[in-house]
Each structure stands twice: as C-alpha cells, then as structure tokens.
Structure 1
Amino acid sequence: MIELRSTLTCPHCGHRETETMPTDACQFFYDCKNCGAVLRPKPGDCCVFCTYGDIPCPPIQQARASGNPCCSG
C-alpha cells in the first residue's frame, strides 16, 4: 500500500511538517514553514520527500514494491 503522507524535517532549523505527497510527480522544492528555507533534493534523490521525508515519494514506493529500479525524477 502506498503511503501518501510524509513528515519532512528541515535540515536548517529542525522543524517537522507532515505533508501530502503528489502521486503523479516528484516535488523538487519545498519551503520550510518555520524558517523559510527552500529545500531541494540531494544529488541522487528524485524529490524533497526522498531526501527530507520519513517516507519516500509514491513513485519510489511503487518502484520498490514492484522490484524495479528506482526512478531518477
């Protein structure tokens, strides 16, 4: 079962926010609601949820569940 909510943790201020992930695309930018920092994925990650979230994005979850190589964005 695909999880649609992930808690992002800002690496700048430590603020945690639970967000609903898009199911049809990767999210490349996220504005921290506490300090305003613009979060971007680290190299090799397809989106901010894969870098800063406690649950990876739906496309990655689907790829892992099916045993296929993970998407690159």
Structure 2
Amino acid sequence: MLSRTADHLFWMSRYTERAENTARMLDVNYQTSLLPQSAAVAQVGWQGLLSISELVPAYTKKHGEITPKCVMEF
C-alpha cells in the first residue's frame, strides 16, 4: 500500500469517527430534550453540546439564541 493511500485512509477513518461521535451526542441530547423539563434546563444541554464541540462562538454569530432546531441544523 502506498504511503499516500494509507494517509488518506487514516484521515477518512478519523473524520468518519468524528462524525459518528457528533451524531451520537446529538441523538442523546435530542432524546433527553424530549423528557419533561424546563426550557432553561433543556437549553443548558444544547449549550453543553456546542461547548464540547467548541462551536459556541460560530453558532452564536450565525443564530444568536440557542434552540434545539437551530442546533440540529447547524
């Protein structure tokens, strides 16, 4: 196997794993948001998800207020 091919496979696998982890975090947070809770508690969960991903500045610049629908679309 060429070194170039191995490098491409490594990065493809890494990005696939990152996408899978992000999808799992979104799914868990969405399932949790379906439970009865106050809006403030739900917003803390979505804000935590953005913080983990280090996307709070980019998200607030584009959307402003944190809502489940906007976070899922972001």
TM-score (ref. length: structure 2): 0.25
Q: Which has the higher contact order (CA 8 A, sep 6+)?
A: 1
More strand by share: 1
Q: Which has the larger radius of gyration?
A: 2
